[in-house]
Copies of this chain bind each other. A is one copy, B any other.
Amino acid sequence: MTIPIITLITDFGLKDSYVSEIKGVILSISPACLIVDITHQIEKFNIRMGGFLLASASKYFPENTVHVGVVDPGVGTERRSIIIETMQSYLVGPDNGLLFLAAKNQRVRRIHEITNKELMSSNISNTFHGRDIFAHAAAHLAKGVLPAEFGPPIQGIVEPAFAKVKKKGNKLIGEVLHIDGFGNVITNIEEKDVKARITGNIVKVELPKAELRLEFCKAYSEVETGKTLAIVGGHGLLEISINRGNAADEHQIEVGDKISTSFSS
């Protein structure tokens, strides 16, 4: 028998006890599961960053992992609580766009709203559904409770704007999804779209505060230290990086910036 895995991704940070309260609740319901942190350092209320990192991380976990996402500025309002069963895993969290990218990548099997009060805390805080609703749902899923037992099936979920790339012939127009701890700038432009257009090894990039003509590389170290390059990083997405440097700082690039790329030899 395999041990069920539950991952957590939140904007709670690590300085408070919130994350451990979620873990305590999960272990009280499902003592034999394994809890893995994706990250708790999503910028406060930044659904884009949370959604991107959840999609990135979740593809590396075993089948049937339960992923809990809590970046939830609308907690306590009418936004729905949902479980998405994909071809690969379960996604649990608020219906605010956070789970969208992961669900799309993994292909959706069914979606249920969480309404069954017997599968929640008996005392639901208005400020902390991560602990009082989502942790309970994840622990029950890990114990084998079926999505249909949590509430009625639903069709659509909230679709965020940040997942769309415009294609204009040779041009790809997207945006900056994330800046990682190394200052690498990760866009929403996918490898396959780059590969379909690239002819030589030059990527031209237009950003709000920078215009760059970059070498398209396979390793950071193909260019000399301090030089900016374009690369498809570990996420399968186009990145702008500096070999041993911080591309976001150097070129004043921020999350959410529009980016337009074209290609030449």
Contact = CB atoms under 8 A, between A and B. Distances in A.
B21 A3 contact: no
Interface stretch (A12-20, A142-150, A159-167, A198-206): A12-20
How many interface residues does chain A have, given as a range?
35 or more
Contact of A221 (B25, B27, B77): B77
Say how many copies of this protein the assembly contains. 3
A154 interface: no
Interface stretch (A55-63, A93-101, A105-113, A208-216): A55-63
A222 B60 CA distance: 39
28 contacts: A3-B31, A5-B27, A14-B14, A14-B37, A14-B39, A14-B40, A14-B41, A16-B53, A17-B53, A17-B56, A20-B38, A20-B57, A21-B56, A21-B60, A24-B36, A24-B59, A24-B62, A27-B61, A28-B60, A31-B62, A74-B221, A76-B219, A77-B221, A126-B219, A126-B231, A127-B220, A127-B231, A128-B233
